[in-house]
């Protein structure tokens, strides 16, 4: 942790806003600091949110009876043969013995699973705006606690009926969006410029670990302890994280009771040149005319087109195309997320290293990372159709794609923090709207294409996704910037 002597040395900031050598030395000694502890706590929050989001998808097969079980795209891959039907019925009887089962049709199951997104379009923009004005501490903490309590109530809601469960999932989805939107506002006052990428990536990688753990143990819990156990365990973890959040997290380091004076001075000095004070009014007209902002928003739409498809259909692809059984497809999907988690952490450290050593300018790091995160997965997705006969080759390519995609998180996906730190919360909410709209459209299109042609449908899905994603990359490379825009400065703010 930084010492007072080091803080005095780093207090001198050059007139052009760059940190001096002593400043950089201090940043390298901060891995046991309060700011890194904050990143770990946010990691746990994101872990909880994503585990709540995925729990019902894992539990659903155990919640429905045999007649209501949804048919997979390749029935022979996911269901037992006629000769093993007795074993299948015995498994269902065991599941029913440890937990209740429901007569929900595939259509009802689809509505229940998708209901968590019904309120996602409404919450991001007002949540981001409020977080930018009043801070994110209580928004994140209360929303996480609400999502966790609702997770604990899922078994009761399911017993009450499908409508009750749908209403609960809509409320839970809104709470989760509030966490994922408002958490970015915290880094405006906590993340020194030379540590921004590693801190944000450490926090956001919690989404990957949440998915990884849920996929890895969710099926086991449902089979051995009953499907309600997955909601009780992950809901309890979320409650514990929210109780940890309130006493340990503060919106501003100057108000934190446990931070050292040296670290406080280091953070304040490093952000001295950044105008991040919130304002009530928004320069909407200037934002609408800002090509760098549109470059980010367009890329959010095109990138989440492909991310939404991969998150929704990766287990299905492994199950139906690579002919892995349902248990193995979950394990393989979890391993891909583990690879992505490692890549995410290393990518953040690499970006900060390149920036602190002045090897590349910040805008170069953003664009280069974005290009890596788009081009490598694009080549992989185009190639999958011709290597689908080899499970090992396909999974190797999936792992390469998963690791490369995380580079977008240190590229265009965090670029709004650079161009308008004052409006971070609002722009995060706005970008999420573009992402949710894209995800809703892409998942529908992918499902239609796959249902029309099981053999070439996947190829068409991948080719369309790659074309859209690359077009977004080109747009971002042309118009993307990393300097604070005029409409986001103090001088321009007074005019609105």
Measure the CA–CA gap between 465 and 377, rounded to whole angstroms.
11
Measure the CA–CA gap between 323 and 208, rounded to whole angstroms.
25
Is 359 within the bounds of a domain? yes
Residue 290 · residue 33 · CB < 8 Å: no
What is the pLDDT averaged over residues 366-385? 94
Same domain flag for 251 and 290 = no
Is 125 within the bounds of a domain? yes
Kindly report, residue by residue over 80-130, the tens digit of the pLDDT. 444 444 444 554 455 455 578 888 887 788 788 878 878 778 889 899 888
Tell me the pTM.
0.79
Q: Residue 141 pLDDT more than 80?
A: yes
What is the pLDDT averaged over residues 421-442? 89
Same domain flag for 374 and 397 = yes
pLDDT over 90, % of the chain: 46
Per-residue pLDDT at 100: 80
Domain boundary among 243, 273, 303: 273
Domain boundary among 273, 303, 324: 273
Domain boundary among 242, 273, 304: 273
Same domain flag for 187 and 298 = no
Same domain flag for 428 and 467 = yes
Same domain flag for 341 and 210 = no
Q: Which of 65-74, 138-147, 375-384, 443-452 has the lowest mean pLDDT?
A: 65-74
3-state secondary structure the chain: CCCHHHHHHHCCECCCCCECHHHHHHHCCCCCCHHHHHHHHHHHHHHHHHHHHHHHHHHHHHHECHHHCCCCCCHHHHCCCHHHHHHHHHHHHHHHHHCCCECCCHHHHHHHHHHHHCCCCCCHHHHHHHHHHHCCHHHHHHHHHHHHHHHHCHHHHHHHCHHHHHHHHHHHHHHHHHHHHHHHHHHHHHCCCCCHHHHHHHHHHHHHHHHHHHHHHHHHHHHHCCCHHHHHHHHHHHHHHHHHHHHHCCCCHHHCCCCCHHHHHHHHHHCCCCCCCCCCCCCHHHHHCCHHHHHHHHHHHHHHHHHHHHHHHHHHHHHHCCCCCHHHHHHHHHHHHHHHHHHHHHHHHHHHHHHHCCCCCHHHHHHHHHHHHHHHHHHHHHHHCCCCCCHHHHHHHHHHHHHHHHHHHHCHHHCHHHHCHHHHHHHHHHHHHHHHHHHHHHHHHHHHHHHHCCCCHHHHHHHHHHHHHHHHHHHHHHHCCCCCCHHHCHHHHCCC
Kindly report, residue by residue over 16-33, the tens digit of the pLDDT. 444 444 444 444 455 678
Using alpha carbons, select from 39, 376, 422, 319 the residue that is nearest to residue 201: 39
Kindly report, residue by residue over 155-201, the tens digit of the pLDDT. 999 999 999 999 999 999 999 999 999 998 899 889 898 898 899 99
Angle subtended at Cα 51 by Cα 464 and Cα 126, rounded to the nearest 5 degrees: 75
Same domain flag for 413 and 443 = yes
Measure the CA–CA gap between 275 and 408, rounded to whole angstroms.
25
Is 95 within the bounds of a domain? no
Place of tokens 């909410």: 429
Per-residue pLDDT at 250: 92
Same domain flag for 241 and 308 = no
Same domain flag for 237 and 292 = no
Mean pLDDT is highest, among 60-74, 139-153, 184-198, for 139-153
What is the total count of domains within the chain? 2
Domain with 409, as residue range(s), is 283-487
Is 180 within the bounds of a domain? yes
Q: Residue 67 pLDDT more than 60?
A: no
Per-residue pLDDT at 80: 42
Q: Residue 135 pLDDT more than 60?
A: yes
Same domain flag for 290 and 433 = yes
Same domain flag for 200 and 288 = no
Q: Which of 1-15, 254-268, 400-414, 458-472 has the lowest mean pLDDT?
A: 1-15
Measure the CA–CA gap between 341 and 204, rounded to whole angstroms.
9
Per-residue pLDDT at 94: 52
Kindly report, residue by residue over 275-333, the tens digit of the pLDDT. 656 656 789 999 999 999 999 999 999 999 988 887 777 767 777 788 776 566 667 77
What is the CATH number for 213?
1.20.1250.20
pLDDT over 70, % of the chain: 82
Is 362 within the bounds of a domain? yes
Is 24 within the bounds of a domain? no
Is 187 within the bounds of a domain? yes
Q: Mean pLDDT in the chain?
A: 82
């Amino acid at each position: 942790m930084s010492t007072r002597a080091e803080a005095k040395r780093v207090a001198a900031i050059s007139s052009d806003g760059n940190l001096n050598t002593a400043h950089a030395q201090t940043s390298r000694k901060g891995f046991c600091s309060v700011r890194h502890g904050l990143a770990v706590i946010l990691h746990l929050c994101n872990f909880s949110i994503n585990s709540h989001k995925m729990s019902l998808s894992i539990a659903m097969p155990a919640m429905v009876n045999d007649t209501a079980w949804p048919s997979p795209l390749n029935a022979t891959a996911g269901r037992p043969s006629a000769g093993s039907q007795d074993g299948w019925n015995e498994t269902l009887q065991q599941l029913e013995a440890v937990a209740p089962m429901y007569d929900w049709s595939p259509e009802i199951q689809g509505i229940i699973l998708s209901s968590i997104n019904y309120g996602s379009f409404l919450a991001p923009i007002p949540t981001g705006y409020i977080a930018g004005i009043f801070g994110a501490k209580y928004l994140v903490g209360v929303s996480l606690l609400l999502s966790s309590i609702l997770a604990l109530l899922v078994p009761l809601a399911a017993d009450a009926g499908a409508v009750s469960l749908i209403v609960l999932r809509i409320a839970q989805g809104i709470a989760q969006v509030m966490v994922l939107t408002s958490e970015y506002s915290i880094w405006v006052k906590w993340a020194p410029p030379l540590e921004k990428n590693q801190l944000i990536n450490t926090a956001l990688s919690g989404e990957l670990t949440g998915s990884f753990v849920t996929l890895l143990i969710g099926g086991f819990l449902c089979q051995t302890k009953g499907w309600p156990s997955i909601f009780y365990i992950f809901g309890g973890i979320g409650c514990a994280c929210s109780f940890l959040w309130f006493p340990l997290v503060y919106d501003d380091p100057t108000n934190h009771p446990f931070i050292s004076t040296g670290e406080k001075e280091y953070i304040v000095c490093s952000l001295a040149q950044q105008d991040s004070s919130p304002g009530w009014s928004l320069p909407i007209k200037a934002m609408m005319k800002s090509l760098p902002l549109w470059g980010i928003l367009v890329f959010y739409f095109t990138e989440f087109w492909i991310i939404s498809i991969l998150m929704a259909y990766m287990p299905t692809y492994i199950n139906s195309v690579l002919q892995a059984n349902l248990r193995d497809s979950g394990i393989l999907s979890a391993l891909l997320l583990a690879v992505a988690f490692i890549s995410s952490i290393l990518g953040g450290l690499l970006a900060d290293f390149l920036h602190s050593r002045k090897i590349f300018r910040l805008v170069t790091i953003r664009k280069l990372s974005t290009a890596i995160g788009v081009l490598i997965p694009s080549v992989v997705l185009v190639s999958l159709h011709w290597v689908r006969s080899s499970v090992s080759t396909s999974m190797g390519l999936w792992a390469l794609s998963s690791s490369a995609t995380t580079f977008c998180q240190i590229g265009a996906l965090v670029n709004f923090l650079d161009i308008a730190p004052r409006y971070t919360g609002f722009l995060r909410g706005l970008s999420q709207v573009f992402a949710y709209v894209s995800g809703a459209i892409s998942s529908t299109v992918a499902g239609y294409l796959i249902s029309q042609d099981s053999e070439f449908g996947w190829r068409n899905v991948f080719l369309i996704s790659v074309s859209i994603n690359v077009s977004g990359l080109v747009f971002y490379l042309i118009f993307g910037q990393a300097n604070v825009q005029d409409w986001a400065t103090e001088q321009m703010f007074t005019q609105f």
